[in-house]
Structure 1
Amino acid sequence: MFYYVSKIAWFFTTPSNLLISLILLGLILSLFKRMRRLGIGLSLAFTLATVALGLLPIATYVLLPLEERFPAFHDDGRPVDGIILLGGAVEASDSKALGSIVANEAAERVLDTIQLAHRYPKARILISSGAGTVFRDGATEAPIIADYFKTIGIDPARILIEDRSRTTAENAAYSQELVKPREGERWLLVTSAWHMPRAVGVFEKAAFPVTPYPVDFRTARGLRTHLPFASLSEGLRRLDIGTKEWVGLIGYYATGRTARLFPGPQDSAGGSASR
């Protein structure tokens, strides 16, 4: 129930969807004589808000604390027993329809996992991702990625598939159930930098110690942090991502899926090593 409620609620409260809905509400109200002034004012106010939120670097400020929470992975020479790739980088339905892997803007999750697979040739590779949609069409991401890995020469014997999960919490629970990690094993967790705090939090809750390997950074550093976006769509897209992640952190903490509101390096097996 939590899964379906969260998906439906988020659809209506996604910043970009909400802004457009409020603009349309204002236009509808302006059709009524008594509410024309209110409707026009509402539409104008939220149109300006959409432009400001889309162009100004507000989305960067929302994402930055998430992406800076865990430092880049540093290879300290310790052996790696496994690599966990969280889904979200491949469009399962499109890949299934086209018969070829279709990656999205989070493709670095897959690319870096391939690099790690070659760097640590003895490590097992766990791909954790089911169908994270309300209306399932039978397409799951993990088997598609696994098949792709096999075509580029990664030994199938190394690959583990977890394709039941629909949420980050289920990623952790089902991965722990499948792997049953032994004490002292080191597993790298590969996911987007902005998603890493919540991911580490649920793996820690599931008693599966992981070492963060953040990828897919969406923010720059230095003066570039304060630069405006080149298009409204780019800024709004990043605002949607950042807002969803903060809401997810609050929701997971409130429902007991994580032990801390904002999981940090102290909650992972990797400590706070930086590059």
Structure 2
Amino acid sequence: MTHWLALKNLIFQWFMAPTLILLPLAIIVGLPWLIPRLRWKRLLMGLGIILLLVYFTATSSLTVALASKGLVAFVPKDSGETVDAIVVLGRGDQWRETRVDVAAELWQAHRAPLIFASGAGDASQMIELLRAKGIPNQALAHEDCSRTTKENAELTATVLQSQGVRKILLITDAPHMLRSLLTFRHFGFNVIPHTSPLPPDLAPRKKTLMVFYEYAGLVSYGIQGRLFAHS
């Protein structure tokens, strides 16, 4: 798991620096011109041009907008019904206060008697922010070990299902919601999704990476059978 997270961070840093992508592709395209006798010259140059076109098409604002819509197209609306618990997933400093605000508003609207925070490095801090908003200790619980969406769902199920919690309001951002919804269902929860807004200062390239990472995550989780309910 540690190696996978390190690899994911490396890919993220690489994607956030376009020079690291465009420079190798430019070399692939230009190499045949620098070495005229190079074998497979046309094939190499054609491959480089195709990869450049794929990169610019994939990262265009239109492609990202369409891909973002695809991630939310199958997510049901919040039905407004009461549930056993509100589960809020951590995402990092930039996302924390907004998610806490949403969770507090839902609790104050009497949607659930309990708020459960999930996520290593986030859960305990979200609990402190919720306490500062006047949410009583008996209405708060958390786990701060999970580092992936699968672990969010698995550890939340370990803690809450033994207490009879089955129906939850799930709080996360729109790109992450579909995978989270299906994963929590896989672990036996009846899930009502409630999306939290993206940070207003989120960099466009970071949003692009999030969207395509979610598609990769859906494929990966689907292959591993994590998106289907247990029998």
What range describes the TM-score normalised by the shorter chain of this pair?
0.7 to 0.9
Equivalent residue, structure 1, for 2:171: 190
Equivalent residue, structure 1, for 2:75: 70
CA RMSD for the aligned pairs? 3.6
2:131 counterpart of 1:150: yes
Report if the CA contact (8 A) 2:88-2:170 is conserved. Answer: yes
Post-superposition Cα deviations, 1:112-161, rounded to whole Å, max 9, x if no partner, equal 1111121117611100011xxxxxxxxx1111111111112111121101
CA distance, structure 2, for counterparts of residue 163 and residue 54 of structure 1: 34
Q: Which letter maps to 2:155?
A: Y
Equivalent residue, structure 2, for 1:215: 196
CA distance, structure 1, for counterparts of residue 149 and residue 64 of structure 2: 22
SS at match of 1:259: coil
Equivalent residue, structure 1, for 2:103: 113
Deviant stretches of 4+, over 4 Å = 26-32, 35-55, 181-185
Equivalent of 1:179 in 155, 160, 169: 160
SS at match of 2:170: strand
Post-superposition Cα deviations, 1:62-114, rounded to whole Å, max 9, x if no partner, equal 110111211331324xx3221000111x32xxxxxxxxxxx34x754322111
Structure 2 residue runs of 5 or longer lacking an equivalent are: none
Deviation at 1:164, TM superposition (A): 0.6
SS at match of 2:80: coil
Structure 1 residue runs of 5 or longer lacking an equivalent are: 92-102, 131-139, 219-232, 261-266, 268-275
- Map 1:258-273 → 2, pairs under 5 A: 258-259=227-228
Identity in percent: 22
Equivalent residue, structure 1, for 2:208: 239
More helix by share: 2
Equivalent residue, structure 2, for 1:34: 35
SS at match of 2:142: strand
- Map 1:89-100 → 2, pairs under 5 A: 90-91=92-93
Equivalent residue, structure 2, for 1:226: none
Calculate the TM-score normalised by the size of structure 2: 0.77
Pairs aligned (count): 221
Structure possessing the higher relative contact order (Cα contacts under 8 Å, 6 or more residues apart): 1
